[in-house]
Chains A and B, each alone.
Chain A
Amino acid sequence: MSLSQLLLTPFAGALLVLLVPGNYRVVHRFIALVTSAITAIGAISIFAGFKTGVAGMQFEEYAAWVPAAGFGYHLGVDGMNIGLVLMASLVGFAATCVSWDIERQPKLFYILLLTMIGGSLGAFLSLDLFFLYFFNELALVPTFIMMGVWGRGENRNYATFQITLYLTLGALIGLSGLALLYSQSGANTLDWVTLKVWLADKPLSSHAQNLILPLLLLGFGTLVGLFPFHSWAAPGYAAAPSATAMMHAGVLKKVGLYVLLRVAIPFFPESMNHWATPLAVLAMGNVLYCGWVALRQRDLYLLLGNSSLAHMGFCFLGLAAAGVIGVTGVVLIMVAHGLLAALSFGLVGHLTKATGSSDLDRLGGLLKTFPFVGGALIMAFLAGCGVPGFANFTGELTVLFGAWKSFPVFVIAAAWGGLIIGGVYMLRAIRDLLHGPLREGSVKSGDAGPWRRVPFLVLLAALIYFGVNPASLVDRITPTAERIAGTRTATATTTHATAAVTSHAAH
C-alpha cells in the first residue's frame, strides 16, 4: 500500500458513508469499520516494510500543487512519523469499533470520525508543512462538532467552547509561526525536506529564530496542553464522546509535538538552546502540577485527562533536552501514550456506559462484574504509571536518560511525578473503582462481549509489543533522531567554539 492509498482510505470511506442514504445504519457502520480496518492493516504493512537503520524518507511521494508558492503534496515517512502513523491507524480502528452503538445521527458521526482519522494521518504523513497544518485543522473541526453534538455531561457546552477557543487560537499562533518561517527562510517553500537542506546551508538569523520559535512553542504547545495552556484538556475529554476523546487525546494532540520535533529542533537550534530551560520548567508544570491536580480528581475522565497532560510533560522535557536519546524518547512516548490514552478512554467509556457514572465516589468493586474491561483497565492504569512491559515505560525511561545530563534536577522531579504521583493516583483509581466490595445498584449492563474486546486487545497488544520489544520502534526512530538532534549538537558546539574564539580574541 502506498502512503497516498493509506491516506485516501479513510476519506474514501467518509465519502461512501455520505453517499449511502441515512436509513441504512448497518451499512454506515460497516463501511466505517472496514475502511478503518484497511487503514490499520495498511499502516501495519508500511511499518513492517519500513527499513531500519536508514535515516532518509521512505515511501516518498511528491506532486507539485502551487509551484509558484512552493506548495506541494509531499508524503513520506521517516523515524519521526512512522510510529505515529501506525499508532494513529490503530487508534482510528479502535475508535471506530467503540462507536458501534452510536444512536444519534450515526451517518454524520461516522463521516466526522473518518475525516478525523484521515486528517490526523494526513498531518503525520505530509512533509509540506502547509498540508500538515491543513490536515490538522481538517481533523480538529470534527473534534469540536462531535463534542458539541454527541458529547456528554453537564459541562459539555462550556468544555466544547473552551477547547475550540484554545485549540483554534493555538493553531493560529502556530500557523503565524509557520508563515514567518516561510517568509524568513527565503526558501520560498514550506516543504520540510527542502527546508532542511536549505537551512543547513543558510540557517535562520538569530533574530528570526528568536522571533519565530516562541510562536511555535506557544501555538503548538497549546495544542498539546503545555502548562499553563492546558486547562482545555481534562474537561474537554470529559465532555467528548469516547471515540473523539480516543482520537484527540491519543492522536491529534501529538501533532503539536510532532511539529515541534520536526521544525523547532532542527531549524531553530540556537533559539532552542535559549528556550530549553524555560520549556523544561513548563514541562515540570505538566508533570508535577497536572499530576497533583490529577491526584484530586474524583471523576475518571478528569483523572485521565490530567494524567495525560502529565505524560505530555515528559515529551516536553525530552524536547528541551533535544539530544538523540531525548528525541527518541519523545517519539516513543508519543506512540505509547497515543495507544494508552485511546485504550483508557475507550475502557472508561465502556464502564461509564454500563454504570451510568464516571464518579469514583459512586463506583467500586467493578472488577468482579467486569473481569475483562476491569482487567484491561488495571493494565492501562499500570501502564500509565510507568510499569515496565508497556511501551510507556520505555519512552519515559529513555527521556529520563536523555535529559539527565542537561537537566538532572528536572529529571529527578519528573521521575517523582511519573513513579510516585502517577503511582498514587493510578493505584487509588484501581482501588476505588475496581477493588473493594461492589456498590449495589451501580451496574446496568455487563462486561464486553468477545467482539467488543477486539479494539482493546489490539491496543493492548501494541502497547505490550512495543514495551517488550522497544528495539522494533527505537531502531526505526534513531537514525532520523540522530540527524534531527545532530543539527543542534553541531550548532551548540560551533557556538561554544565561536564563543571561545571571541573570548580569546578579547583577551
Chain B
Amino acid sequence: MAVEQPQAPAMARAGEQTRIHDIGYRSYDGPRLGRAYARRSLYSQSLRGAYGLGRSAKSKVLPMLLFVVMCVPALIMVAVAVTTKANDLPVHYTRYAIIMQAMIGLYVASQAPQAVSRDLRFKTVPLYFSRPIETADYVRAKFAALASALFILTAAPLLVLYVGALLAKLDFTDQTKGFAQGLVSVALLSLLFAGLGLVIASVTPRRGFGIAAVIAVLTISYGAVSTLQAIADAQTNTGAVPWIGLFSPITLIDGVQSAFLGANSAFPGGAGPGNGEGVVYVLVVLGLIAGSYGLLMRRYRKVGL
C-alpha cells in the first residue's frame, strides 16, 4: 500500500516523490517441470476430456452413453454363452468392432472436433505454444489421447467377452489367441480412426461442421464401398471385391484382420483379401496413419502463429 507522505509538498517537488511500490510479487524458484510434463498433462487432460471427465455433466452424456452401448451387446452375448453352455462365443473378437462400427464412427465424430476444434475456435492454440511444448508435442498428445480413448472404447467390450468366455470355461488358448488378435485389430482401428478424425476436425473451428464432415467421410465411404462390393459379388466378379474394400476405413481394418489376424471377412460372399492383397491393405492403413500425422503437423505448423 502506498503510504501518504506526512508533509504536504509544493507543486514543484512532486517529481521527487514518485516511486515504485514493492507490492510483494515473488518470482518462481521451484522446479520447472518442462516439456515432457506439459505433454503428459495435455495427453491426460485430452484423454479425460474425450469421456467428458472434467467437463460439464451435459458433455459426459454422449461419450458415456456410447461406451455403455458398446459394452451392452458383449454383456448379453456373455450371459447367453454362460447360461446355454455354448462351445464358442456367438461373435468372434475381431468381428465385434465391425458390427458396432456405427457407434465407433459416432464417437470419433463427436470427440475429434471436441479435442481440437475448440482450441482453434477460441484461439487458444497460441497459448499452448507459449508454454515449453512444440507443435509435435501438441499433435502427438492429441493424437495419442484420441487413439487411447478409442482403444478404451473398442477394447473394453472385447475384455468383457474374454472374461465371459473364461467364466464359461471355453478353451483357454483358443480364447486368448482370439482376444490378442482382436486387441491388435482394434489398436490399428483406433490409430486409423483417430488420425482421420483429427485431420478432418483440425481444418474447421466449427464443432458442428467437424462432426458432420467426419461422419460423412466414414459413412459415405462405407456406404459406397459396401454397395459396390455387393454389386460386384452379385455379378460374380469376386476378384474385385477385396480391391474395392481399400476405399473405406472400416473395410480396410476388416481386410487387414481377415488376411493376417484369422478373422472371417464381413465382405459379401466372405471374399476377404488373400495374403498378397493383405500386404497392400496393411501398407494403406499404415500409410493413412502416417499421412494423417504428417497432415496434422503441417496444419499446426502454421496455425495460431
Q: Do A and B come from one complex?
A: no
B binding-site residues for A, Cβ under 8 Å: none
